[in-house]
A and B are shown apart, each in its own frame.
Chain A
Amino acid sequence: MKLRKLGMVALVAAATVFGMGVSAPTHAKTLKMAYDADPVSLDPMEQLSGGTLQMSHMVFDPLIRFAKDLSYEGRLATKWEQVNETTMRFHLRKGVKFHSGNDFTANDVAWTLDRLKKSADFKGLFEPFTGSKIVDDYTIELMTAEPYPLVLTMMTYLFPMDSKFYTGTDANGNPKDMLKKHGDAYASTNESGTGPYVVVSREQGVRVEFKRFADYWDKESKGNVSEIILTPIKEAPTRVAALLAGDIDFIAPVPPTDLKRIEDHDGSNLVTMTGTRIITFQMNQERVEAFKDKRVRQAIVYAVNNEGIVQKIMKGFGTAAAQQSAAGQLGHVEALKPRYDLKKAKELMKEAGYEKGFNITMMAPNNRYVNDAKIAEAVASMLSKINIKVDLTTMPKAQYWPKFDERAADMMMIGWHPDTEDSANYSEFLLMTPNKDTGKGQYNSGNYANAELDALVNKANTITDQAERKKLLQQVEQLAYDDAAFVPLHWQNLAWAARKGVHIEDIVNVMNFPYMGDLVID
């Protein structure tokens, strides 16, 4: 009996060792990663969100991508040149294969641009483009109606899709390229891109398995990860625990409360970076008469100790701001500094005739930005020092957005990260006079209206000369600062963490699209 048992044990042990030897050859490297959510779709055009773009950079390739220093790096486009003021010519990479085996050509780029212009989420970004002209299989020209300064930036959002693969009808009789927000669409669950990873299996909300594409064109990439298993882990403490326990190799985002714990942990590799998402409060001039007075708005900005908020509430995980554009962006004005000064704030209130203060309502989300509700509480209590009594309501983002659209409170919190990584984008959505026809000022809940600022931004959007454009965009920031158009709080930082030996420091960037294809594991 005993002998038989021993024999069994030996057999199992042998099988285990043998099995491991077979299934894990020395060169195969698997990365287990956890984000807070998995991509909502495999269609790169279904939703314009961080999650979609992270997926797009794994499964597809853009024509151009941003290098770490925000310079342009050719991917599927190798070279480009300006033909005339409104036309840019792109030379495409040769010998690139889609996951389906089809060859990548200029046709696919033209097809992709057409589809982008039909996507509810992306059509806004690609509106300046009027069309394309295929010169030959590997040369294409893109035209804009007017001179457009962000042509190359927009190419970082153009992920060519396999036009042959997405042509035809699926099992339900719908076109394979159908873009549908709800309901079953072929492109949501099937992919053929040129990217470094092929989706092997996907169980939405549970896990996605990727395997490296054998025919990937970029042979120079040092990336050596052959398999990626992406698991969404919603709860931040669990995500951190999974990394510390060794169940997961790479996590993002990392909550500010756990930064120190991970930094102190020997086996972990923490990477942080200042980000470009600005968190602000807007003061609604239509609802509150006092907000029409520049001095009152300035008093509020002077009363808010945003450096204190960054230190105490954000645990240093942010950069206190005095403007929208972060350092490195075109419109950033170095001289603008946070201006907390309670005495000055009180003086301004007195000057404006509001020494006794007034009552306002305030709303903020409680699960959208890092520590959003706590920040709102802090701002409310800071405003009480200049006798502005705040009635604060916080709520989940699902309920907050409809309230925001209604402009339901006198002060509302809004964070913004420009999809274009460009300074003008902040003002277009947050500060320009709301206008239903042009779509400008869509998130300007303050109803701040300044014709001079509008003109500056509009002009900047047609100027391709970088130096001149920079001057205009800096004027915009200065104007908004002097006018106290909004209450700047901070730019959120970014953080990623991995186990030691997973070199995420080389692949993460300020856009928060880790270039997984180039990831090296020791």
Chain B
Amino acid sequence: MAYLAFFIKRFFQAVIVMFVISLIGFSIQDNLGDPLREMVGVSVSEAEREALRDEMGLNDPFFVQYGRFLSKAVQGDLGDSYFFKRPALDVIMDKFPATLDLVIGATIIILGVSIPLGCYCAIRPRSFIAKATMALSIVGISVPVFLTAIFCIYLFAVTLGWLPSFGRGEDLVEIFPGWETGFLSLGGLRHLILPSFALSSIMLPLFIRLIRSEMMEVLEQDYIKFAWAKGLAPRRVWFLHAFKNTLLPVVTVGGVQIGIMLAYTILTETVFQWPGLGFMFIEAVNRVDTPLIIAYIIVVGLIFVATNTIVDLLYTFINPTVRIMGKG
């Protein structure tokens, strides 16, 4: 029962969030520029452009345009992209697998590196490796993704020639109709390495530091001291008792970070010419493709609400003392 109420509450939250986002998106669209300018050559006359604007309904008052948008949106139609000339949602669904590949790749790198390294730094804080990791992670946080990405391209693609410099490559494997992934072929994987690493570079240091400090705190707690006193094997103390409790805040932060990672895909995908959502979004902004911009922010808003819901659910599994409905 609690779960049902929780889902209903979250569903209405999502609807409100998306309504607000669409309203904001719609009200700022006049400041994004003139879509007509991106659709016609420079020598086309103002009168000609005005006629096109009329034809597309761009000269209608704000609430007429917004009303038209809403009445279509409730039927699942967020309008057609000016550039792709297809429904904006279809375009987003086409680009989504590429971005998901990238986010999964970055997540694997982040978890695969930060958990062992973070734990090690907590268990052996005075070791050379721990100190070096801490120092490097400061550097990692402060270098912009853009720079990391360009540096990686020049080192691994241009100078060493080990990895491809851009894009997803040609040998992608189709897992569902219209859904291709690079994880199932060598060429696809080779193309994934650099962009995934660049995307992970911002969050990796953050996670290492987070896991380290959380675990250090846990290791100081009484129940761990009891465990040592009981004579348990070090592995059991570290990985069974301490690590499990370290995870709690990591999951919370991680959930929020997935949303932030979507923001960083904009930079990463632009540098690597990765045909995903982030690159699509920045191009839509450049082209003043307003229907696509609004559809994108609505979908991203939905992803935020969904990940937060999942995080809240995970929480109850990891820590049974947390109740889903607060007091309930």
* A182-B46 contact in complex given A238-B153, A238-B271, A241-B158, C-beta closer than 8 Å: no
A238-B273 in contact (CB<8A): yes
How far, in Å, is B325 (CB) from chain A's closest CB? 45
B19 part of interface (Cβ distance < 8 Å): no
Residues on A with C-beta less than 8 A from B84 are: 204-205
| A478, B157: Cα distance in complex, Å | 52
A429 part of interface (Cβ distance < 8 Å): yes
CB < 8 Å neighbour of B83 from A40, A206, A231, A397? A40
A101 part of interface (Cβ distance < 8 Å): no
* A241-B43 contact in complex given A399-B31, A399-B33, C-beta closer than 8 Å: no
Q: Which of B9-17, B163-171, B223-231, B255-263 contacts A (4 or more CB under 8 A)?
A: B163-171
A245-B37 in contact (CB<8A): no
Q: What sequence of 0s and 1s flags, for each residue 388-412 of chain A, a beta carbon within 8 Å of any chain B beta carbon?
A: 0000000011111110010000000
Report the nearest B residue to A395, measured CB to CB: B33
B33-A246 in contact (CB<8A): no
A385 part of interface (Cβ distance < 8 Å): no
Residues on A with C-beta less than 8 A from B38 are: 398
| A302, B37: Cα distance in complex, Å | 34
B273-A245 in contact (CB<8A): no
Q: What sequence of 0s and 1s flags, for each residue 76-96 of chain B, a beta carbon within 8 Å of any chain A beta carbon?
A: 000010111110000000000
| A245, B162: Cα distance in complex, Å | 9
A367 part of interface (Cβ distance < 8 Å): yes
CB < 8 Å neighbour of A120 from B32, B44, B279, B283? B44
CB < 8 Å neighbour of A398 from B44, B80, B286? B286
Report the nearest A residue to B275, measured CB to CB: A206
* A182-B39 contact in complex given A245-B158, A399-B32, C-beta closer than 8 Å: yes
A241-B280 in contact (CB<8A): no
Near A by CB (< 8 A), chain B positions 1-60 give 31-34, 37-48, 52, 56
A439 part of interface (Cβ distance < 8 Å): yes
Report the nearest B residue to A120, measured CB to CB: B48
Residues on B with C-beta less than 8 A from A242 are: 157, 165-166
How far, in Å, is A400 (CB) from chain B's closest CB? 8
Report the nearest B residue to A124, measured CB to CB: B43
B324 part of interface (Cβ distance < 8 Å): no
* A182-B286 contact in complex given A120-B48, A234-B273, A399-B31, C-beta closer than 8 Å: no
B40-A184 in contact (CB<8A): no
A188-B85 in contact (CB<8A): yes
How far, in Å, is B281 (CB) from chain A's closest CB? 12
A237-B150 in contact (CB<8A): yes
**Looking at B42, B52, B153, B157, which has the most chain A CB atoms within 10 Å of its CB?**
B42
B46-A442 in contact (CB<8A): yes
| A261, B85: Cα distance in complex, Å | 39
A402-B34 in contact (CB<8A): yes
B283-A47 in contact (CB<8A): no
Interface residues on A, range: 35 or more
B43-A401 in contact (CB<8A): no
Name A's interface SS. loop
How far, in Å, is A396 (CB) from chain B's closest CB? 7
Residues on B with C-beta less than 8 A from A402 are: 33-34, 37
How far, in Å, is B24 (CB) from chain A's closest CB? 18
A247-B45 in contact (CB<8A): no
B46-A205 in contact (CB<8A): no
Residues on A with C-beta less than 8 A from B43 are: 48, 121, 124-125, 419, 429, 442
A183 part of interface (Cβ distance < 8 Å): yes
Residues on B with C-beta less than 8 A from A450 are: none
B239 part of interface (Cβ distance < 8 Å): no
Residues on B with C-beta less than 8 A from A247 are: 157, 164-166
| A203, B97: Cα distance in complex, Å | 15
| A188, B85: Cα distance in complex, Å | 10
Residues on B with C-beta less than 8 A from A206 are: 275
* A124-B45 contact in complex given A231-B167, A367-B286, A401-B33, C-beta closer than 8 Å: yes
A244 part of interface (Cβ distance < 8 Å): yes
A436 part of interface (Cβ distance < 8 Å): yes
B270 part of interface (Cβ distance < 8 Å): yes
CB < 8 Å neighbour of B80 from A183, A238, A397? A183
Near B by CB (< 8 A), chain A positions 144-186 give 181-185
B157-A241 in contact (CB<8A): yes
Residues on A with C-beta less than 8 A from B283 are: 205, 234
| A405, B53: Cα distance in complex, Å | 15
Near A by CB (< 8 A), chain B positions 137-168 give 150, 153-154, 157-158, 161, 164-167
A263 part of interface (Cβ distance < 8 Å): no
| A496, B270: Cα distance in complex, Å | 22
B212 part of interface (Cβ distance < 8 Å): no
A232 part of interface (Cβ distance < 8 Å): yes
How far, in Å, is B51 (CB) from chain A's closest CB? 8
CB < 8 Å neighbour of A244 from B46, B158, B288? B158
CB < 8 Å neighbour of B161 from A47, A245, A429? A245
A49 part of interface (Cβ distance < 8 Å): yes
Report the nearest B residue to A204, measured CB to CB: B84
| A405, B273: Cα distance in complex, Å | 33
| A472, B52: Cα distance in complex, Å | 37
* A405-B40 contact in complex given A238-B272, A245-B161, C-beta closer than 8 Å: no
Q: What sequence of 0s and 1s flags, for each residue 220-237 of chain A, a beta carbon within 8 Å of any chain B beta carbon?
A: 000000000001111101
A-B contact pairs, 9 of them (CB 8 A): A183-B80, A205-B84, A205-B275, A242-B157, A397-B33, A398-B287, A399-B32, A436-B47, A439-B45
